[in-house]
C-alpha cells in the first residue's frame, strides 16, 4: 500500500496573499525534492476551470446563491476525483489555493445559507469527505501572527468579514489550521 499524501490548503480574503504563499510553499517543497501538485479552487481541472469562468463572470449578477454553491461544489468534486484523491493515494503532497473553508465563509456566513446543509454539500458531497490535513488562513489586514485568531466585528461587510472569521469556520472543520501572516516564517523561507 502506498504512503498517504498530505493535503495543505490556503484560505483568506481576496488580496491576502494566499496564492503567493501557496506558490512559495510549492516551490520550497519542489526544491527539496517533494513530489507535489499545486492546484486552486474553483478550477484546477479543465472542467473546473470552465466552472470558474462562470462563477467569476461579472455578467452573472443574477446567480441564485444555492446555484453558486452547487457550481463551487461541482468544481470541487471534479478536482477531488481527478486530482486530489489520486495524488494523495500516490503519496504526493497537494497544495491548494482555497478549498471547502471558503464555501463555508463566503456562501455560509457571507450569504447566510444554512450551514448544516452547506457543510453536507460542500464537504461531504463536493469534497467527497476529503478534508485538508493542514490549513493556513491569511488575514488581509497584515497584523495577524501565527496561532492568533481574530474575530471580525459583525458590522463589517459580510463577505469580507466572514472569510476571516476562522473561529466560526473551525466549528465545522476539524483539521489542523493556523491563522498566520506569513507562511515563510513557518517554513523559514
Residue identified by cell 460542500 is 122
Does 22 have pLDDT greater than 70?
yes
Cis peptide bond upstream of 42, omega within 30? yes
- Residue-averaged pLDDT of the chain: 76
Residue identified by cell 496561532 is 147
Name the 3-class secondary structure at 176.
strand
Does 39 have pLDDT greater than 90?
yes
Instruction: Let me know: does 87 contact 5? Beta carbons within 8 Å.
Output: yes
Does 140 have pLDDT greater than 60?
no
Report in angstroms the alpha-carbon separations of 139 from 41, 98, 118, 151, 180.
18, 14, 23, 11, 7
Does 174 have pLDDT greater than 60?
no
Amino acid at each position: 500500500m502506498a504512503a498517504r499524501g498530505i493535503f495543505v490548503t490556503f484560505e483568506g480574503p481576496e488580496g491576502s496573499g494566499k496564492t503567493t504563499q501557496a506558490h512559495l510553499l510549492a516551490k520550497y517543497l519542489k526544491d527539496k525534492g517533494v513530489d507535489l501538485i499545486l492546484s486552486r479552487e474553483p478550477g484546477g481541472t479543465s472542467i473546473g476551470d470552465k466552472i470558474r469562468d462562470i462563477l467569476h463572470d461579472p455578467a452573472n449578477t443574477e446567480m441564485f446563491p444555492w446555484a453558486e454553491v452547487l457550481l463551487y461544489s461541482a468544481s470541487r468534486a471534479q478536482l477531488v476525483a481527478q486530482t486530489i484523491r489520486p495524488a494523495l493515494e500516490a503519496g504526493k503532497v497537494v497544495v491548494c489555493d482555497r478549498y471547502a473553508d471558503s464555501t463555508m465563509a463566503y456562501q455560509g456566513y457571507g450569504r447566510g445559507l444554512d450551514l448544516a446543509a452547506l457543510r453536507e454539500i460542500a464537504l461531504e458531497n463536493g469534497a467527497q469527505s476529503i478534508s485538508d490535513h493542514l490549513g493556513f488562513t491569511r488575514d488581509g489586514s497584515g497584523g495577524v501572527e501565527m496561532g492568533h485568531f481574530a474575530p471580525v466585528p459583525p458590522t463589517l461587510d459580510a463577505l469580507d468579514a466572514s472569510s476571516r472569521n476562522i473561529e466560526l469556520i473551525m466549528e465545522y472543520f476539524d483539521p489542523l489550521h493556523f491563522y498566520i501572516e506569513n507562511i515563510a516564517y513557518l517554513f523559514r523561507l
